[in-house]
Amino acid sequence: MIIVRPIRSSDYEVLHQIAVESGHGFTSLPVNEELLTNRINRATHSFHSTPLQAGNEGYLFVMENTETGEVVGTSGIEAAVGLDDAFYHYHLGKVVHSSRELNIYNNVDILSLNNDYTGATEICTLFLKAPYRVNNNGRFLSKFRFLFMAEHPERFNNTVIAEMRGVSDANGRSPFWQWLEEHFFSMDFPTADYLSGIGNKAFIAELMPKYPIYVSLLSKQAQEVIGKVHDKTVPALRLLESEGFVNRGYVDIFDAGPTVEAELNSIKTVRNSRRLKVKFGSVKNTRKYIICNTQVAEFRAVQMPIDIDEEQDIAIIDRKAADAILVSEGDWVRVSQN
């Protein structure tokens, strides 16, 4: 059975493997033993904390095949970004250069450096091993986070964002960064991405151009990738768009990939999720639901068919599913269609 659970210290080796497999542009998992260990320790502390509001907590989950014990994917939530380190974006806006006397009007795109998403909750670190990208596992690995957030809203902020990986090639070359590198940074994209991932962000403030950048001054290749996602990221973007996430012009400062946002209570899965009581029984329905318990440190989620008694707000599930998510008859679960 495929389940999602909080990460453990014993998951370090597979997390390191995922960091390597994910490649360039996956900033939230740098290939660095100390930082990966710290990420696991921080997640463990967060799962055992009881915050009254969003703070520096970082929740990291793994997807596990319980039949083999293999960890096959990871998915995370940052409760509030930018509280310790500045959280940078470019915003794609416009300025108008006009002269009534000369009858000239030019509408010009600009990129402005900002910290507008400071304090927002971020969903991040989504990666699933290739053999398991079947049976809606990818959707499950993304969407279960919304059930966790719906069940524990006090831990998160109302604005939820997701940074989507921008365009880069197999060697980590980003057309957008190549222009910045040439004119301001003198370091390649993988190096800049790695430094940011390990928390060394001072160079951004020190070297990034302080004034708005006129998009027309960028190389043609750089202009073409602004707001575009990596080919492998297209399905993730489509899923978030179906949940109600939108791009309001914010892009990553390294690869110009879009950042999308939604209000927590307006996210489709959050809005449509239901809290139901567990009853054991034979399930006749074949439609799969995402089902999770209401715990934090012992959180579990699974996708499988259940029957719902609409009149009594009861989820009828089999004992195998109940055991997988650590619930007994009479316990509460939160459910949503996958």
CATH number at residue 242: 3.40.630.30
Q: Look at the chain and report how many structural domains it folds into.
A: 2
Q: Clarify whether 230 is annotated catalytic.
A: yes
The reported pLDDT for the residue numbered 299 is 98
Distance, CA of 235 to CA of 187 (rounded, Å): 30
Residues 179 and 167 sit within 8 Å (Cβ to Cβ): no
**Per-10-residue mean pLDDT for the chain, 338 residues long?**
96 90 68 87 97 95 95 96 88 88 88 95 94 94 98 97 90 84 73 64 68 91 95 92 97 93 97 96 92 98 94 92 95 94
pLDDT at site 24: 56
Amino acid identity, residue 144?
F
- Choosing from 16, 91, 183, 230, the catalytic residue is 230
Residues 254 and 283 in one domain: no
Q: Are residues 191 and 177 in the same domain?
A: yes
CA 139 to chain centre: 12
Boundaries of domain holding 315: 273-337
In a domain, 102, yes or no: no
> What is the rounded distance in angstroms from the CA atom of residue 11 to the CA atom of residue 17?
10
pLDDT for res 195: 66
Yes or no: say if 257 and 163 are a contact pair by the CB < 8 Å rule. Answer: yes
Provide the pLDDT for residue 184: 78
Residues 283 and 265 in one domain: no
Give the model's pLDDT for residue 101. Answer: 82
Same domain, 151 and 291: no
What pLDDT was estimated at residue 99?
A: 79
Q: What is the pLDDT at residue 194? A: 64
**213 pairs with which residues across the strands?**
111
Q: What is the pLDDT of residue 29?
A: 76
pTM value surpassing 0.85: yes
Nearest CA-CA partner of 257 in 282, 285, 232, 279: 232
Could you tell me the two tokens for 31? Answer: 């290939």
**pLDDT value, residue 177:** 85
pLDDT for res 54: 95
Q: Residue 158 domain-assigned?
A: yes
Q: Which of 269, 302, 317 is the last residue of a domain?
A: 269
Which CB contacts under 8 angstroms, 24+ apart, belong to 313-317?
A: 313/274, 313/275, 313/276, 313/277, 314/276, 314/277, 314/278, 314/279, 315/276, 315/277, 315/278, 315/279, 315/291, 316/279, 316/280, 316/281, 316/283, 317/278, 317/279, 317/280, 317/281, 317/283, 317/291
Strand segments, DSSP code E, in 23-152 are 58-65, 70-78, 89-99, 104-114, 121-128
